[in-house]
């Protein structure tokens, strides 16, 4: 079912006109209200009045995650703080998180776009949706929540964790839809099996999975094990949250990016130059209607390509292909975004540790596993005994959990035992 037929099947020439009007508007607003943008536009030698076609987009400056961090917490807001009705923040940051603020209108649009997304996945007002995305500063839980309500479905706000209970609720409440990370879906399958429950025999029929990378093979596995149709959803907190792009049930190939609100481009991540449709590169998004934190040419760091070919579902919005990775070193561990520098910052803060460390991310069963090996400094090692070492490992593990929200297996190792690098250190091994 198409949730908003008029807007989702808008002819492309009309869409381009709408985008241009909105782009001009958005540029006027950020130039007038956000000092960061005024400076960036001035430095790029362009004024909002000079934007006459969508091609002029390429003349505008990029915005990066670091710009949001620099403006922590509220400097990137384009409206008075009092007009903001909700905050979210990126998970897992030591010092400065990325804070995003929404006006009432932003929240309404988010719910609409999330409802569009759930409908594109095949869910309707008749469905009961088990929402296991985390509720809180993370956008997953509340994003899916209000989208499901907007659709008129019944939302079951389970949030993350408590897996045994989740299995029981899935069975007892008879959910027909589920929203969570793809790895958690497989974890639920295992927990259900251990409890003697076969999810294939439950009424569950559709899953909307995202927030972390996954593959076609994983889709096939989820579909087989849970006996459902598994759809891909994309989003990021800076731009809105879940529901920026969504796969449709008809083609299940690429995610329609809601172009009446987000103007997508693909660039070469090294040179910054725009790439033609179909090429793989970094996705850059300009928000067209956001009031709280409008973003001009935001570098998502996600690698994908844009497909403008018509889709079987009749929606005219372009599709982004399954994400192929990132152009930075951000890791997503059990749905939590973690930068290696954040781990490093915690390690160097701890007395007696050397700056030599190794991070290994692997997958055990269906769960991500984070292991951190770090060397003792020379003087610490001589004086320390085994039980002290274990105590320190626990302390470090706790600090990582407290600051970053992820569980890590920490091992302190002897000085000089980890590999040294002559060139660029390759301290992170992602073997998932
Ligand atoms: O993960 C929002 C979200 C919630 C999306 C629920 C989908 C479902 P952040 O925590 O800001 O927001 O993380 C955003 O996660 O830049 C991608 O690298 C990654 N990501 C999100 N969806 C997908 C996906 C939410 N379908 C970052 N496939 C993004 C691969 C994804 N990676």
Question: What is the pLDDT at residue 424?
Answer: 62
Cα 332 to ligand 1 centre (Å)? 9
Are the beta carbons of 72 and 97 closer than 8 angstroms?
yes
C-beta 211 within 6 A of ligand 1: yes
| Mutation test residue for ligand 1: of 234, 240, 256, the one with most atoms within 8 Å of CB | 234
H or E element in which residue 274 lies:
none
What domains, with CATH codes, occur in the chain? 1-328 (3.40.50.12780), 331-430 (3.30.300.30)
Res. 25 pLDDT band, cuts 50 70 90: very high
Which residues are CB-neighbours of 350 under 8 A, at least 6 positions away? 392, 395, 396, 399
Cα 216 to ligand 1 centre (Å)? 17
Distance CA 205, CA 227 (A): 7
Q: What are phi and psi of 210, to 5 degrees?
A: -170, -160
Distance CA 145, CA 384 (A): 50
Lowest mean pLDDT among 5-9, 139-143, 214-218: 214-218
Lowest mean pLDDT among 83-87, 112-116, 333-337: 333-337
Q: Dump pLDDT digits (tens) for 305-337.
A: 999 999 999 999 999 999 988 888 889 998 888
Tell whether the model's pLDDT for residue 10 goes beyond 70. Answer: yes
Instruction: Read off the pTM.
Output: 0.90
Q: Dump pLDDT digits (tens) for 380-403.
A: 765 667 788 888 899 999 999 998
Question: What is the pLDDT at residue 393?
Answer: 92
How many DSSP H helices and E strands does the chain contain?
12, 21
Which residue matches tokens 């970053």? 404
Residue 232 forms beta bridges with which residues?
A: 209
C-beta 233 within 6 A of ligand 1: yes
| Mutation test residue for ligand 1: of 179, 210, 216, 405, the one with most atoms within 8 Å of CB | 210
Please give the span between the terminal C-alpha atoms of the chain, in angstroms, as a whole number. Answer: 35
> Quick one: how far is CA 342 from the chain centroid?
18
Is the CA virtual torsion 421, 425, 428, 432 positive or negative? negative
Cα 30 to ligand 1 centre (Å)? 25
Residue 135: DSSP 8-state: P
Q: Contacts from 358-363 at CB under 8 Å and sequence distance 24+? A: 358/418, 358/419, 358/427, 358/429, 359/331, 359/427, 359/428, 359/429, 360/429, 360/431, 361/331, 361/333, 361/428, 361/429, 361/430, 361/431, 361/432, 362/431, 362/432, 363/183, 363/432
Which residue matches tokens 């010092």? 95
Q: Nearest C-alpha to atom 16 of ligand 1 is from which residue?
A: 236
Edge-to-edge strand list for the sheet holding 367-376: 408-413, 367-376, 353-364, 428-430
Could you tell me which of 307, 251, 258, 352 has the C-alpha nearest to residue 7? 258
Considering just the CA atoms, what is the radius of gyration of the chain in Å?
23
Q: Nearest C-alpha to atom 28 of ligand 1 is from which residue?
A: 213
Are the beta carbons of 359 and 427 closer than 8 angstroms?
yes
C-beta 92 within 6 A of ligand 1: no
In ligand 1, the atom with minimum distance to the C-alpha of 244 is 5
C-beta 242 within 6 A of ligand 1: yes
Structure tokens at 162: 């408590």
In ligand 1, the atom with minimum distance to the C-alpha of 91 is 10
C-beta 241 within 6 A of ligand 1: yes
Mean pLDDT (whole number) for 176-190: 94
C-beta 140 within 6 A of ligand 1: yes
Cα 231 to ligand 1 centre (Å)? 14
Are the beta carbons of 260 and 15 closer than 8 angstroms?
yes
Cα 237 to ligand 1 centre (Å)? 8
Q: Dump pLDDT digits (tens) for 44-73.
A: 999 999 999 999 999 999 999 999 999 999
Distance CA 350, CA 397 (A): 12
Could you tell me which of 188, 172, 178 has the C-alpha nearest to residue 208? 178
Res. 423 pLDDT band, cuts 50 70 90: low
Are the beta carbons of 61 and 296 closer than 8 angstroms?
yes
Res. 422 pLDDT band, cuts 50 70 90: low
Mean pLDDT (whole number) for 348-373: 88
Distance CA 256, CA 8 (A): 9
Cα 414 to ligand 1 centre (Å)? 37
| Mutation test residue for ligand 1: of 91, 146, 236, 300, the one with most atoms within 8 Å of CB | 236
Average pLDDT across the chain, whole number: 93
C-beta 234 within 6 A of ligand 1: yes
Res. 93 pLDDT band, cuts 50 70 90: very low
C-beta 247 within 6 A of ligand 1: no
Helix boundaries (H) for 214-313: 216-226
| Mutation test residue for ligand 1: of 184, 235, 285, 336, the one with most atoms within 8 Å of CB | 235
């Amino acid at each position: 079912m198409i949730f908003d037929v008029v807007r989702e099947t808008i002819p492309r020439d009309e869409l381009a006109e709408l985008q241009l009007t909105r782009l001009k508007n958005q540029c006027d607003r950020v130039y007038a209200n956000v000092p960061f943008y005024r400076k960036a536009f001035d430095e790029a030698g362009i004024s909002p009045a000079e934007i006459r076609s969508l091609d002029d987009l390429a003349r505008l400056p990029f915005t990066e995650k670091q710009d949001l961090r620099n403006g922590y917490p509220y400097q990137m807001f384009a409206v008075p703080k009092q007009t903001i009705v909700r905050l979210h923040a990126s998970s897992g940051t030591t010092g400065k998180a990325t804070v995003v603020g929404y006006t009432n209108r932003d929240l309404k649009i988010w719910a609409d776009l999330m409802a569009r997304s759930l409908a594109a996945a095949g869910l309707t007002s008749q469905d009961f949706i088990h929402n296991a995305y985390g509720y809180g500063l993370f956008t997953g839980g509340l994003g899916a929540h209000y989208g499901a309500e907007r659709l008129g479905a019944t939302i079951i706000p389970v949030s993350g964790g408590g897996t045994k209970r989740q299995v029981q609720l899935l069975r007892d409440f008879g959910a027909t839809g589920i929203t969570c990370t793809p790895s958690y879906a497989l974890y639920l399958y295992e927990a259900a099996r251990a409890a003697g429950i076969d999810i294939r025999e439950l009424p569950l029929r559709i899953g909307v999975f995202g927030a972390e990378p996954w593959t076609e093979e994983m889709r096939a596995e989820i579909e087989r094990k849970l006996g459902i149709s598994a759809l891909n959803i994309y989003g990021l907190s800076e731009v809105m949250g879940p529901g920026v792009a969504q796969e449709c049930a008809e083609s299940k190939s690429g995610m329609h990016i809601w172009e009446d609100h987000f103007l997508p481009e693909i660039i070469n991540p090294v040179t910054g130059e725009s790439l033609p449709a179909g090429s793989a590169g970094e996705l850059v998004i300009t928000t067209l209607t956001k009031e709280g934190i409008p973003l001009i040419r935001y570098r998502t760091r996600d690698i994908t390509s844009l497909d403008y070919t018509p889709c079987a579902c009749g929606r005219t919005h372009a599709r982004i292909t399954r994400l192929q990775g990132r152009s930075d070193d951000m890791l997503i561990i059990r749905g939590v975004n973690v930068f290696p520098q954040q781990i490093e910052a915690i390690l160097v803060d701890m007395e007696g540790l050397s700056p030599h460390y190794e991070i290994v991310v692997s997958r055990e069963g269906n769960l991500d596993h984070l292991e951190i090996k770090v060397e003792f400094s020379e003087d610490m090692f001589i004086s320390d005994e085994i039980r002290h070492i274990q105590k320190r490992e626990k302390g470090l593990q706790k600090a990582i959990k407290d600051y970053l929200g992820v569980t890590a297996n920490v091992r302190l190792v002897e000085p000089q035992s980890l590999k040294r690098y002559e060139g660029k250190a390759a301290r992170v091994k992602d073997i998932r």
